[in-house]
Amino acid sequence: MIRVLILGGTGDAVELAAQASNLPDVEVISSLAGRTKAPSLPIGQVRVGGFGGTTGLADYLRAEKIAALIDATHPFADQISWNAARAAQQCQIPLLIIVRPAWQPVTGDHWIEVESHEIAAQVLPKIAQRIFLTIGRQELSAFAHLTHLWFLMRMIDPPPVGLPVPPGEILLERGPFTLEHEQTLLQTHQIEAIVSKNSGGTATYAKIAAARSMGLPIVMIQRPQMPVGEQVGDVAGAMQWLERMRG
């Protein structure tokens, strides 16, 4: 029996846990950070909460006799990805990283690509007064000083009490979203620009297509640097990797 730990929190992680659980000689444990109040729980064993950095994760891998580690976290959850790479190296177990392909601009897109939320905040006053902020709740404070702008802020859970947030309206929604939904949202709130992380995937791509159809600019925050390691782009690639591990 091979024990596999999946670092999750994404749709890919849920799908992978479901497929991998069907393998007769693979035992899957999924780990969630616990930041979302009502997450989509994967099939099988689920662990919720942090590990305590690289050392804590390495201790867990040894204690639970984990034979393989799969990092299926969000592309912007870089801290856990670095911890996973170091812990796997310390424990001398194989690590696979699922790297969802980034979105690429196409004809009609008007992207302003930036390296951080702070740089995105610097750009906004020059291009718009009403902004659709689609970055989740963790980095809202980077825009809190822009008190002369108005923001529609979409996230799954409300921001923590006391977290500085910019002026505007908080919208609690979970994807996937349709093109029609996003177009109506942008029109209703008279949005002039969008701020987005380049998360990739299909669940929230409709906002990109909606901005394109309406001629709106997108301030696109680029992904942080990830550790070097074996990577695949989707669940199918991860399942092939697991099949090789079984062999």
Residue 77's CATH number: 3.40.50.720
In terms of pTM, does the model score above 0.75?
Answer: yes
Residues 122 and 157 in one domain: yes
| Per-residue pLDDT band at 229 (split at 50, 70, 90) | confident
> Does pLDDT of 34 surpass 80?
no
* Same domain, yes or no: 120 and 178: yes
Which pLDDT band, with edges at 50, 70 and 90, does 85 fall under?
Answer: very high
Residue 215: pLDDT above 80? yes
What is the reported pLDDT for 89?
96
Residue 147 lies in a domain: yes
Whole domain around residue 67: which residue ranges?
A: 2-100+225-246
Same domain, 193 and 120: yes
Q: Is residue 29 assigned to a domain?
A: yes
Residues with Cβ < 8 Å from 39, sequence gap 6 or more?
A: 9, 32
**pLDDT at 186 (0 to 100):** 98
Please report whether residue 136 resides in a domain: yes
Please state, in angstroms and rounded to a whole number, the distance separating the CA atoms of residues 67 and 8: 17
Any domain includes 148: yes
In this structure, are 118 and 207 located in the same domain?
yes
More confident residue, 35 or 32: 32
Alpha carbon 113 to its chain's center = 18
- The per-residue pLDDT for 10 is 85
Mean pLDDT of 164-185: 95
pLDDT band at 49 (very low <50, low <70, confident <90, very high): confident
242 falls within a domain: yes
Residue 109 has pLDDT above 70, yes or no: yes
Contact 15, 234 (CB under 8 A): no
Domain-embedded: residue 105: no
Total number of domains constituting the chain: 2
Within a domain: 187: yes
